[in-house]
Chains A and B, each alone.
Chain A
Amino acid sequence: MKKTDALIIGAGPTGLFTAHQLKLIGLDCEIVDNLDKIGGQCIELYPDKPIYDIPAVPECTGKELTNNLLNQLKPFDIKFHLSERVEKVKKEDNNWLVKTSGGNSFLTPNVIIAGGVGSFEPRKFSPKECEKFENKSLFYSVKDKNIFKGKTVSIFGGGDSALDWAIELSKESKVNLIHRRDEFRGAQATVDKMHALVKVGKINLFTKYQMANVHGEQMIKNIDIKHDNDEIKNLKTEYVLGFFGLIMQLGPITNWGLNLNKKTIEVDTEKFETNQKGIYAVGDICNYPGKLKLILSGFHEGALAARACFKLARPNEKYRFEFTTTSTSLLKRLGKKE
């Protein structure tokens, strides 16, 4: 069990700057994120798209913004727990007991939800039958490619993940590649390589087809794929891989007793606290009259929530407002003064 002054859920821009604000005022914090990398939507949805409305930054990409925020956190020691989703939040006296999917538990007076539009989860196949094979013979990511050796693998999708795995697995497996249209959105060189492998019979390509059904008992035996013109084809296959990108889902947050409004959490505008004392929501996931889903609003919300955390983490101390330009204690924390 880890004790910390505040636990931040979400390592997007808002979560990162909130961590900065907490550390600056002398509080500890740790960050949990379901993605395997830092940056949230900025890194997952638009790493290369320029953003033009960050104050004093005329233009930067999602990736640059993330890197700049990480640079700003350099003076501080912050522990990140990536590829972990917060599953449970439970009151324990004056603290919250938080448990993650990675087996970590935290005891903290403050939980700050900076969860964007929810945690990123893989998009799944639409036929219901696919569920029962999930993680047995149907996967949305590859953990151990050796299980596919000598088997038939049917790969669905048109992006780099689908193409890269089709090419890689075609070395030692029989590969079907199925995509809903003729065009692929992967890198051109990868698309060319895939087409070359199709030509020499290393990959069987089916375009304008989508998954219609899966058949099998414990493991998949064969699948039906359906063409745009409704024709159905049956393919013998032992494994199925789907690469349809990620979707954002609120997930377990809906069970924490918070006031939800559609996919957002209601907060006050003084502390950005939810209806549960010591649980705050900042950034895209929070809602209040006049809320703007802008990164700059997340920064402001995180700064105020951090001050609110101080009261619960240091009940016997008084928080003093200080500027980084002049305060010796802040400059010390920033490593600018001995």
Chain B
Amino acid sequence: MAKITYITSDNQTHTIEVQNGLTVMEGAVQNDIPGIDADCGGGMACATCHVYVKDDWFNKIPKKEDGEDDMLDMAFEPKTNSRLSCQIIVSDELDGLEVNIPSKQA
């Protein structure tokens, strides 16, 4: 279990407890947090669950695997700290993680 904070582009903060094993995307979708579309349902095939991970956390969470950067090429306004939230799996170590949701997913 980890407390994850989602910050929307209009600076609304949503902190929720997400079960280990779920993804940061699933945590958002199951709790109706706006701004994460996840059109493909977690298949790393659409880049509509794009988030920005705060710098200190970006290096702590498991690294991107093959293909994630390819999808991020297509995301709306990608930055160096961009991730696909469907590829970040929640564990105790992620307790306190903060992610920013872009103003649009496409």
Specify which chain A residues have a CB less than 8 angstroms from the CB of B69 in the assembled complex: 181, 183, 185
- Distance in Å: Cβ of A160 to nearest Cβ of chain B: 11
- Distance in Å: Cβ of B68 to nearest Cβ of chain A: 11
Rounded to whole angstroms, the CA-CA distance of A46 and B73 in the bound complex is 17
Specify which chain B residues have a CB less than 8 angstroms from the CB of A159 in the assembled complex: 70, 73
Q: Does A136 lie at the interface of the complex (its beta carbon under 8 Å from any beta carbon of B)?
A: no
Size class of A's contact patch?
A: 20 to 34
Q: Does B40 lie at the interface of the complex (its beta carbon under 8 Å from any beta carbon of A)?
A: yes
Q: Is the CB of A263 within 8 A of B39?
A: yes
Specify which chain A residues have a CB less than 8 angstroms from the CB of B79 in the assembled complex: 228
If A159-B73, A185-B70, A263-B37 touch, whether A45 touches B46 (CB-CB below 8 Å) is: yes
Rounded to whole angstroms, the CA-CA distance of A219 and B48 in the bound complex is 31
- Distance in Å: Cβ of A250 to nearest Cβ of chain B: 10
Specify which chain B residues have a CB less than 8 angstroms from the CB of A263 in the assembled complex: 37, 39
If A45-B43, A293-B41 touch, whether A158 touches B73 (CB-CB below 8 Å) is: yes
Size class of B's contact patch?
A: 20 to 34
Specify which chain A residues have a CB less than 8 angstroms from the CB of B76 in the assembled complex: 123, 126
> When each residue 62-85 of chain B gets 1 if its CB lies under 8 Å from chain A and 0 otherwise, what string results?
000000011001101111100000
Specify which chain A residues have a CB less than 8 angstroms from the CB of B78 in the assembled complex: 180, 210
Q: Does B1 lie at the interface of the complex (its beta carbon under 8 Å from any beta carbon of A)?
A: no
Of A6-14, A241-249, A270-278, the stretch lying at the interface with chain B is A241-249
Rounded to whole angstroms, the CA-CA distance of A126 and B75 in the bound complex is 10
Rounded to whole angstroms, the CA-CA distance of A126 and B74 in the bound complex is 11
Q: Does A60 lie at the interface of the complex (its beta carbon under 8 Å from any beta carbon of B)?
A: no
Specify which chain A residues have a CB less than 8 angstroms from the CB of B46 in the assembled complex: 45, 247-248
Contact residues, A176-203 vs B (CB, 8 A): 179-181, 183, 185
- Distance in Å: Cβ of A289 to nearest Cβ of chain B: 16
Rounded to whole angstroms, the CA-CA distance of A179 and B69 in the bound complex is 12
If A181-B69, A185-B70 touch, whether A247 touches B48 (CB-CB below 8 Å) is: yes
Besides A45-B43, A157-B73, A293-B41, 19 new A-B residue pairs in contact (Cβ under 8 A), listed by A number = A41-B40, A41-B45, A45-B40, A123-B74, A126-B76, A126-B77, A179-B73, A180-B73, A181-B73, A183-B69, A185-B69, A210-B78, A228-B79, A244-B74, A247-B39, A247-B46, A247-B48, A248-B39, A249-B106
* Chain A residues within 8 Å of B, Cβ to Cβ: 41, 45-46, 117, 123, 126, 157-159, 179-181, 183, 185, 210, 228, 244-245, 247-249, 263, 293
Between A and B, 22 residue pairs with Cβ closer than 8 Å are A45-B40, A45-B46, A117-B39, A117-B40, A123-B106, A126-B76, A157-B73, A158-B73, A159-B70, A180-B73, A181-B73, A185-B70, A228-B80, A244-B74, A245-B47, A245-B73, A245-B74, A247-B74, A248-B39, A249-B106, A263-B37, A263-B39
